Amino acid sequence: MEADSRRLIHHVAFLVYICLLGGVDGATDPNDFEILNDFRNGLENPELLKWPANGNDACGPPSWPHVFCSNGRVTQIQVRGLGLQGPLPQNLNRLDKLQSVAFQNNKFNGKLPTFSGLSDLQFAYLDYNEFDTIPSDFFHGLDNIRVLNLDYNPFNRSTGWSIPSDLAEALQLVNFSCSGCNVGGPVPDFLGDLPSLSMLRMSYNRLTGYIPLSFSDSGLKVLWLNNQDGGGMSGPLDVIGSMVGLTQLWLHGSQFTGPIPDNIGDLTSLKELNLNRNHLVGMIPTSLANMNLQVLDLSNNMFMGPIPVFKASKVDYESNSFCQDDPGGQCASEVVALLDFLHDLNYPEKLALQWTGNDPCKGPWWGITCNPRNEVSVINLQKLGLTGTLSPSISNLSSLLEIHLKGNHIHGMIPASLTQLRFLWLLDVTGNDFMPPLPMFRNGVKVITDGNLNIISGSNKSPLPSDGNSESPSGIPSSADDQPPSSDLDGVGSASHVPVSENSTKSRLAAVVTAAAGVTFFIIIAAVIAAYCFRKRIKTKQATTNVVVPPKDSLDHDNMVKISLVDSSSPETQSGSVSANNNLGISLQVLRNVTNNFSQENELGRGGFGVVYKGELENGTRVAVKRMESGVVSSKALDEFRAEIEVLSRVSHRHLVSLLGYSIEGNERLLVYEYMPLRALSRHLFHWRSADLKPLSWAKRLVIALDVARGVEYLHTLTHQTFIHRDLKSANILLDENFRAKVSDFGLVKLAPDTEGSIATRLAGTFGYLAPEYAVTGKISTKVDVYSFGVVLMELLTGLAALDEQRPEDQRYLAEWFWRIKSEKQKLIANLDPALGAKEDIYESVYAVAELAGHCTARDPSPRPDMGYVVNVIARLVDEWKPSDEDTDEDPGIDLRQPLQQMLMGWKENDVTRYYSDSSSVGSSKGSNPAKPSGFADSFTWNDAR
């Protein structure tokens, strides 16, 4: 018995052995042979198979190359990488004993045949081919499939496709791979339930939706869902925290949101984690920092807080919103408080993107305003759709004056700790979902809780402040047109909010108490008036506010003042403009030469964007070369930078400093401007003694004011586009040899990206010129420039700088102080710039300019005049004061508006060798093409770079 069965086993084993050798067992199944034949005949290059031309026994012996059989039935086709071209027979699934097919790395095309019913098939490699259609029943009945690779086939390209639920029956499936094969829709839930699935690779598809919850307890080791086209996958990453078997997790290049789950540390087998290029927020969990990863990529998200010291061997955390640049640093306490605040609001994307760096008073911190001591004084985050709760952490921002959170969806209670804020006088939580009870704020704090379902409106509402100010639509209290700009937001001349000084606190308190003593009647009247004013203001606002953009351009591209680059490069718009030749690029070496290698003697000045050098071309033309601080323009932003320059270079006006060219090489970004020999107006106003200059006469000042007004008016009224300077100040007004003024640096603010430092420098440098609505809400319109121009007028009148920390506290901000003196003629005259040596004959003119300055710096943008009006007023004064001043309006001999390169070409054609013999680096090319020396060969061409 036992001997029999042993013999039987031997017999069977022998047969199996024979079969594996290729089938000694006679003829190939005719059906299988027919399909093989169809396969061969369908190919464009069947010869590559090296199958005999007229045999009919594919299974042999010997079997045909690449074919393996068992009992006359084909079990394997192995044609990997043969370069085969053509379709597969559509009835391939009639080879129903197939166990393994390796079709990968060929050029098979057309419709992939269905694999329906191939229940013996265990391995199917179809990747890297050109199949353009996958039938919907392809996955049906693949009961034993273990490995299925479909990567990089253009299946159903136009419509995409989704993985049919037939695959849910593939209970043996270990590896499934379909990267770059046009799979759309959500990742099917059933993939998480496949008991054997260990590797799932679906990169470069069109997947959307969340990672299915079913994945949380799957046995997946490798999961690739990175780089989805068209939006990509979204939702939180919470589910990955329990996928403890993972070794590789690639989720980069998608739209995942929310923080990294804290339990990420439980993934103890994880070696590679790519989360870069998503919309992830929050702090980096310590558990992640402590993981022994080989690769960790967190770059290009919106992570905040400190950068921990990572244990991973290779880690990338570039381009996030961290508070420090390097691992291990801590965040400043105000930043900590603000980040806690953000945490409880679920890190809204807009803020997670903007609140970067370690100083809320520097850089683009949306909704945050600081006082001149660099403490946060206002939080203004209205109608941002904020959800979550209000963190008690903001009670650590001890200089807070105002908190505006109107129109969000914040729930929970208002933390009692807010009552500890000593300077707080306004908390506006109108239209949220807060719950009672309200904490007891001290007297005089205005708490507005209207429209919170559970709080009875007015239950803790202090009377309106006695100045009766209505609320502007933006929620920032605003004053009537003729009130000083600082009446209720101290220090607003500079658009910042300084903590209330003793005096003003007292008077405000007194006022509030008085008001409180009044009857409800008063409140009702006040409310009616407020409502009336509110409506009226909305109307006027809509009529006059031109352009509204967020404080940083990157924020919301739809709202930007966007200059159409397409237009600017089209031939039509070019023809009438400055440079028919767009080629403004200039080699760095040339600029080195003309500036004497950026020597210190050539330095003209330093500003927020870098150092300016004097340069002299061989023909004697002088230029100013601005060498941007490295980091002001990141290499990422280069294309934008170039594009902007091309636009700026087209802006041409007698009272705007012409941009002649630029150079971009390596880290160097240089701008070449026409040279203005008498340099900045600020020098002549504030440093004339030390610079050994004569003070400017009143007549000159008026002409300068007119020139500037004209330049700015031109910027504001360019056809098809509005240009807002945003950084107008006396340091940006340059004078030519005849004291005629030109405005410079327009557009530079736009060039500066969202990196730390750049905008900060600008804000710090121009604090005294910032319009309040711009600084507080980021709203920008041409009226922002009008405000700054008003401050320049004040400087021309008083000889005082817009902001000077050395002056007594009440005079620090020129705009604020000027409002107090401007209406009293005597005071005004007493405070005129002594250098004017003013006599009575100029008084009328002075009064008029003072009035105009006041007008221009009105608190609200709408009553500020536009530049056209300003030009008219000043033009009249200039006429009255000195009819037809020295008229230098003719063009200078050289056309400075010609692109620099053309200018250089002009003289170089005459004398190329002389110039280049001095210059070793380009000397070698001399003579090869005298009209086009190599210095220019690689200079940038606009059209090429598009």
Ligand X SMILES: *[C@@H]1O[C@H](CO)[C@@H](O)[C@H](O)[C@H]1NC(C)=O
Helix (H, G, I), strand (E, B) or coil at 312: coil
What does the block give as tokens for 680?
């900045």
Helix (H, G, I), strand (E, B) or coil at 4: helix
Cβ contacts of 538-546, under 8 Å, gap ≥ 24:
538/473, 540/862, 541/472, 541/473, 541/861, 541/862, 543/862, 544/781, 544/783, 544/861, 544/862, 545/779, 545/781, 545/783, 545/861, 545/862, 546/722, 546/781, 546/782, 546/783
Selected binder of ligand X within 56, 91, 292, 333 (CB under 6 A)? 333
Helix (H, G, I), strand (E, B) or coil at 647: helix
Whole-angstrom distance, CA of residue 591 vs CA of residue 670 = 9
- Nearest-approach distance from CB 390 to ligand X, in angstroms: 11
Told to check if 161 binds ligand X by CB under 6 A, we report yes
Quick note: the x/- pattern for ligand X over 185-214, rule CB under 6 A, is --------------x---------------
Selected binder of ligand X within 146, 271, 461, 926 (CB under 6 A)? 146
| Residues in region 339-358 near ligand X by CB under 6 A | 340
Rounded (10°) angle between helices 782-798 and 843-856: 150
Shorter beta-carbon distance to ligand X: residue 146 or 807? 146
206 strand-pairing partners: 184
- Nearest-approach distance from CB 169 to ligand X, in angstroms: 16
- Nearest-approach distance from CB 362 to ligand X, in angstroms: 20
- Nearest-approach distance from CB 20 to ligand X, in angstroms: 20
What is the edge-to-edge ordering of all strands in the sheet holding 610-616?
603-607, 610-616, 622-628, 668-674, 659-665
Helix (H, G, I), strand (E, B) or coil at 785: helix
User: Which one-letter DSSP state was computed for residue 612?
Assistant: E
- Nearest-approach distance from CB 221 to ligand X, in angstroms: 8
Told to check if 136 binds ligand X by CB under 6 A, we report yes
- Nearest-approach distance from CB 806 to ligand X, in angstroms: 33
Told to check if 147 binds ligand X by CB under 6 A, we report yes
Contacts of 174 (CB under 8 A, 6+ apart): 146, 147, 196, 197, 198, 199
889 touches 654 (CB < 8 A): yes
Helix (H, G, I), strand (E, B) or coil at 427: strand
How many CA atoms are closer than 13 Å to the CA of 346, on its beta-carbon side?
Answer: 14
Shorter beta-carbon distance to ligand X: residue 113 or 392? 392
Contacts of 258 (CB under 8 A, 6+ apart): 235, 236, 237, 238, 280, 281, 282, 346, 347
Size of site (CB under 6 A) for ligand X: 19
Told to check if 365 binds ligand X by CB under 6 A, we report no
Told to check if 134 binds ligand X by CB under 6 A, we report yes
- Nearest-approach distance from CB 147 to ligand X, in angstroms: 5
- Nearest-approach distance from CB 395 to ligand X, in angstroms: 6
Selected binder of ligand X within 119, 133, 287, 569 (CB under 6 A)? 133
Quick note: the x/- pattern for ligand X over 389-418, rule CB under 6 A, is ---xx-xx--------------------x-
Q: How many residues does this entry show for the chain?
A: 946
| Residues in region 245-274 near ligand X by CB under 6 A | none
Quick note: the x/- pattern for ligand X over 424-463, rule CB under 6 A, is ----------------------------------------
Which of 428, 490, 727, 736 is flagged as catalytic? 727
Short-list 597, 594, 472, CA closest to 533: 472
- Nearest-approach distance from CB 489 to ligand X, in angstroms: 26
Told to check if 168 binds ligand X by CB under 6 A, we report no
- Nearest-approach distance from CB 132 to ligand X, in angstroms: 9
Shorter beta-carbon distance to ligand X: residue 140 or 650? 140
Whole-angstrom distance, CA of residue 483 vs CA of residue 575 = 48
- Nearest-approach distance from CB 52 to ligand X, in angstroms: 32
User: Which one-letter DSSP state was computed for residue 92?
Assistant: G
| Rg of the chain taking only CA atoms, in angstroms | 37
Told to check if 483 binds ligand X by CB under 6 A, we report no
Residue 845 corresponds to which amino acid? Answer: S
Helix (H, G, I), strand (E, B) or coil at 199: strand
Shorter beta-carbon distance to ligand X: residue 183 or 706? 183
Shorter beta-carbon distance to ligand X: residue 272 or 640? 272
**Helix (H) / strand (E) containing 776:** helix 772-777
Selected binder of ligand X within 109, 114, 153, 156 (CB under 6 A)? 156
Shorter beta-carbon distance to ligand X: residue 110 or 923? 110
Tell me the window of 69-77, 130-138, 657-665, 936-944 that interacts with ligand X (CB under 6 A): 130-138
916 touches 613 (CB < 8 A): no
Short-list 734, 752, 595, 598, CA closest to 675: 734
Q: What are phi and psi of 824, to 5 degrees?
A: -100, 110
Shorter beta-carbon distance to ligand X: residue 141 or 392? 392
Whole-angstrom distance, CA of residue 654 vs CA of residue 550 = 31
Shorter beta-carbon distance to ligand X: residue 86 or 154? 154
Shorter beta-carbon distance to ligand X: residue 200 or 878? 200
Tell me the window of 16-24, 388-396, 665-673, 829-837 that interacts with ligand X (CB under 6 A): 388-396
Shorter beta-carbon distance to ligand X: residue 123 or 881? 123
User: Which one-letter DSSP state was computed for residue 829?
Assistant: H
Q: What are phi and psi of 300, to 5 degrees?
A: 55, 50
Shorter beta-carbon distance to ligand X: residue 119 or 483? 119
End-to-end Cα spacing for the chain: 85
Residue 649 corresponds to which amino acid? Answer: S
| Residues in region 863-882 near ligand X by CB under 6 A | none
Helix/strand/coil (H/E/C) assignment for every residue in 207-274: EECCCCHHHHHCCCCEEECCCCCCCCCEECCHHHHHCCCCCEEECCCCEEEECCCHHHHHCCCCCEEE
Residue 626 annotated as binding site: yes
What does the block give as tokens for 609?
């964007």
- Nearest-approach distance from CB 179 to ligand X, in angstroms: 12
422 touches 399 (CB < 8 A): no
Active-site residue flag, 189: no
Tell me the window of 134-142, 202-210, 702-710, 752-760 that interacts with ligand X (CB under 6 A): 134-142
Give exposure, 527-564, as e/b (b: 16+ Cβ within 10 Å): eeeeeebeeebeeebeebbebebbbbbebeeeebbebe
Shorter beta-carbon distance to ligand X: residue 395 or 419? 395
Annotated binding-site residues for ATP read 626
Q: Which residues are annotated as a binding site?
A: 626
Active site residues: 727
**Positions that interact with ligand X (CB under 6 A):** 133-136, 146-147, 156, 161, 164, 174-175, 199, 333, 340, 392-393, 395-396, 417
